[in-house]
C-alpha cells in the first residue's frame, strides 16, 4: 500500500467510503505509529512518500582466535543479519595484536545476502608492529553504500599482511545500523 496525496474537498459533494478508506484510513496506515511492529524500530525513507522500519543489530564474539591468513578469512562471529535499504552504518570493535615486526593485522567486515560486498583494508581496523608487540583496542565506523535492499548479513573478517605473522583477536564486536 502507498501513501496518497489527500483529495481536495469540494463543497456539497459527498465524501464516499472509498475516498475515506483511500485518503484517511490507508494514509494513516502509512504513518510511523502504524508501521512499528516491535520495540527499538525506527523509520527510514524508502522512496517517495514511503517509509520502512529498521532495527539496529549487534553481536559479539569474545573467544580468542588466531590467523595467519593473508586474505580475509571467515571467523566464528560476530555477524548479524538484518533488513537494510541501500546503506548501513557498521561499527567494528576488537582488541588485537600482531606478533611479527613490520607486519599488520586487519579486522574488517563483509556483507552477504541480498548484497555481496567484500571485506577491504580501507574499511578495516588495523594494527601494525614495528619493534615491539602492540595491543590495540579500537572502534571504527563505516558508512557502507551500494547494498541491495533486503536481508543482509554483516560479518567480521580477519587477515594479516604476511602469512608468517599471526594476528590474535579478542572481544570482536559488530554493530549494524541499517538505513
Q: Render each residue's pLDDT in the chain as its tens digit; 179 residues.
A: 778 888 898 899 998 999 999 999 999 998 999 999 989 999 998 888 888 999 999 999 989 999 999 999 887 779 999 999 999 999 999 888 888 888 889 999 999 999 999 999 988 988 887 776 665 667 889 899 999 999 999 999 999 988 888 888 888 899 999 98
Residue 69 has a pLDDT of: 93
CATH of the domain at 64: 2.60.120.760
> Distance between terminal CA atoms of the chain?
20
Whether residue 85 lies inside any domain: the answer is yes
Whether residue 157 lies inside any domain: the answer is yes
Whether residue 82 lies inside any domain: the answer is yes
Tell me 123's DSSP state.
Answer: G
Closest by alpha carbon to 161, among 137, 138, 136, 130? Answer: 130
Question: Where does residue 47 rank: exposed (0-12), middle (13-18), buried (19+ CB within 10 A)?
Answer: exposed
Whether residue 4 lies inside any domain: the answer is no
The domain of 158 spans: 54-178
Whether residue 22 lies inside any domain: the answer is no
- Alpha-carbon gap, residue 63 to 127, rounded angstroms: 19
Whether residue 138 lies inside any domain: the answer is yes
Residue 134 has a pLDDT of: 65
- Alpha-carbon gap, residue 49 to 33, rounded angstroms: 15
Whether the CB-CB separation of 64 and 83 falls below 8 Å is answered with no
Residue 21 has a pLDDT of: 92
How many distinct structural domains can be found in the chain?
Answer: 1
Residue 132 has a pLDDT of: 66
Amino acid at each position: 500500500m502507498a501513501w496518497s496525496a489527500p483529495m481536495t474537498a469540494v463543497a456539497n459533494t459527498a465524501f464516499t467510503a472509498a475516498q475515506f478508506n483511500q485518503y484517511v484510513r490507508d494514509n494513516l496506515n502509512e504513518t510511523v505509529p502504524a508501521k512499528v511492529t516491535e520495540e527499538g524500530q525506527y523509520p527510514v525513507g524508502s522512496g517517495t512518500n514511503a517509509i520502512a522500519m529498521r532495527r539496529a543489530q549487534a553481536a559479539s564474539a569474545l573467544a580468542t582466535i588466531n590467523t595467519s591468513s593473508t586474505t580475509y578469512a571467515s571467523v566464528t562471529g560476530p555477524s548479524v543479519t538484518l533488513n537494510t535499504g541501500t546503506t548501513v552504518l557498521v561499527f567494528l570493535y576488537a582488541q588485537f595484536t600482531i606478533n611479527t615486526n613490520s607486519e599488520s593485522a586487519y579486522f574488517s567486515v563483509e556483507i552477504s545476502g541480498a548484497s555481496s560486498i567484500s571485506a577491504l583494508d580501507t574499511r578495516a581496523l588495523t594494527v601494525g608492529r614495528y619493534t615491539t608487540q602492540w595491543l590495540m583496542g579500537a572502534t571504527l565506523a563505516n558508512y557502507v553504500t551500494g547494498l541491495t535492499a533486503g536481508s543482509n548479513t554483516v560479518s567480521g573478517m580477519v587477515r594479516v599482511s604476511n602469512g608468517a605473522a599471526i594476528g590474535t583477536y579478542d572481544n570482536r564486536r559488530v554493530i549494524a545500523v541499517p538505513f
